Copies of this chain bind each other. A is one copy, B any other.
Amino acid sequence: MLPTASEQDHVPPAESGRAPLSPGYPEHLRAVAEEYLGALSFAVDAEAHGLDEAMRYSLLAGGKRIRPVLALATASAIGREPSWVLPLAAAIELIHTYSLIHDDLPAMDDDDLRRGRPTCHRAFGEDVAILAGDGLYAEAFVLLLTRQEAPPDRLLAAARELADATGAQGMVAGQYIDVAGTAPAGPAGLRRLHELKTGRLIAASVECVLLLDGLQAAERIRSFTSFARELGVLFQIVDDILDVTGTPETLGKQQGSDERLGKRTYVTEFGVVGARELAAQSHGRARAALAQAAGPAGSHSTAALEQITDFIATRSF
């Protein structure tokens, strides 16, 4: 019953996924990000017209594309062609988009604006938005399991990690703790919430590439993993700061939504100045872990990962 490649490839050029990247995206990452966007074109077919429209609407709206670019850059860092992990990268962006659609729902954060346009449920209705999210999550696995080239045992390992990172032990648990407000008091509780809600998927964007590759060097794996997890923390601290200091134009979503929902953030916990200091520390730790992961001098380049790390630390959207 799986669609064949030819059935999936009939997407017309106008919908081929080449939506513009957010303005302000660093020029040196643009090329690799644009390469990846093409992979989305075969990722959002649905049996029902209308459903695919809603899926495409949210998926192809632009955004930072940090997670897929991270996967491509990781491939490069271990000496692989970035294009090799395009299906994985696209699958990760499908999952990220699904999580945004469900997070924005009236019963959750009730947001009206996302990636600079009305949220999925504002554009298509709540029922369709729920199903568009459900569909994107399923299609992420179809895409990964159907299109990603790797020996079966490695593909299994990557799929397992992706499901675990995004399920009731990972992303979904983080979102639950967030909406239910059940994170323990103090920085440790906050950190745990964000490790689950955003950190696991960001880390998986790196770790799944290592799993597909079958990387054997335990020490390098540990360094990459430390790097990936620290990057998740860094991303979240900056996100919390931007929710206070950004504008709807730069953010593509409402500013101040954390405060409106009474959420605990790095800013409510430490103030903007304290959060900026924490971000700087986290940035330093991420770069240090990356230097470890780079391996012996003369081995493959972690330049793209360094650029992404710096971009995450200094982004304004």
- Of chain B, the residue at the smallest CB distance from A146 is B160
User: Quick check: which of A27-35, A125-133, A266-274, A299-307 contacts chain B, the rest being far away?
Assistant: A125-133
User: Is A163 engaged at the interface, CB distance under 8 Å to the other chain?
Assistant: yes
Q: CA separation between A133 and B159, bound complex, in Å?
A: 19
Q: CA separation between A163 and B138, bound complex, in Å?
A: 6
Q: CA separation between A134 and B131, bound complex, in Å?
A: 11
Q: CA separation between A139 and B163, bound complex, in Å?
A: 7
- Of chain B, the residue at the smallest CB distance from A169 is B47
Which listed residue, B107, B138, B155, B169, touches A127 by the CB 8 Å rule? B107
Given known pairs A105-B130, A128-B176, the reply for A166 and B138 (CB within 8 Å) is: yes
Chain A 150-183 near chain B by CB (<8 Å), digits 1 or 0: 0111011001110111111110111111011010
User: Is A224 engaged at the interface, CB distance under 8 Å to the other chain?
Assistant: no
User: Is A52 engaged at the interface, CB distance under 8 Å to the other chain?
Assistant: yes
Could you say which residues of chain B place their CB within 8 Å of the CB of A164?
A: 1-3, 138, 142
Which listed residue, B127, B133, B151, touches A108 by the CB 8 Å rule? B127
- Of chain B, the residue at the smallest CB distance from A138 is B167
User: Is A102 engaged at the interface, CB distance under 8 Å to the other chain?
Assistant: yes
Could you say which residues of chain B place their CB within 8 Å of the CB of A92?
A: none
Which listed residue, B105, B131, B146, B173, touches A172 by the CB 8 Å rule? B131
User: Is A51 engaged at the interface, CB distance under 8 Å to the other chain?
Assistant: yes
Chain A 40-61 near chain B by CB (<8 Å), digits 1 or 0: 0000111111111001000000
Name A's B-contacting residues (CB within 8 A): 1-3, 44-52, 55, 102, 105, 107-108, 125-128, 130-131, 133-139, 141-142, 145-146, 151-153, 155-156, 159-161, 163-170, 172-177, 179-180, 182, 196, 200, 203, 207
Q: CA separation between A49 and B49, bound complex, in Å?
A: 38
Asked if B146 and A130 make an inter-chain contact with CB atoms under 8 angstroms apart, the answer reads no
Given contacts A47-B173, A128-B180, 15 further A-B contacts (CB under 8 A): A2-B160, A2-B164, A45-B169, A46-B176, A51-B176, A108-B130, A133-B134, A135-B173, A137-B137, A138-B167, A139-B167, A141-B159, A145-B160, A152-B153, A152-B155
Which listed residue, B145, B168, B200, touches A159 by the CB 8 Å rule? B145
Asked if A176 and B131 make an inter-chain contact with CB atoms under 8 angstroms apart, the answer reads yes
Asked if B141 and A163 make an inter-chain contact with CB atoms under 8 angstroms apart, the answer reads yes
Q: CA separation between A19 and B85, bound complex, in Å?
A: 43
Q: CA separation between A2 and B162, bound complex, in Å?
A: 10
- Of chain B, the residue at the smallest CB distance from A177 is B48
Q: CA separation between A203 and B1, bound complex, in Å?
A: 10
User: What are the 6 closest A-B residue pairs judged by CB atoms, nearest first?
Assistant: A138-B167, A135-B168, A152-B152, A47-B173, A46-B168, A107-B126
Q: CA separation between A142 and B175, bound complex, in Å?
A: 18
Asked if B141 and A180 make an inter-chain contact with CB atoms under 8 angstroms apart, the answer reads no
- Of chain B, the residue at the smallest CB distance from A135 is B168
- Of chain B, the residue at the smallest CB distance from A95 is B138
Q: CA separation between A286 and B286, bound complex, in Å?
A: 59
Could you say which residues of chain B place their CB within 8 Å of the CB of A176?
A: 46, 48, 50-51, 128, 131, 135
Q: CA separation between A107 and B108, bound complex, in Å?
A: 13
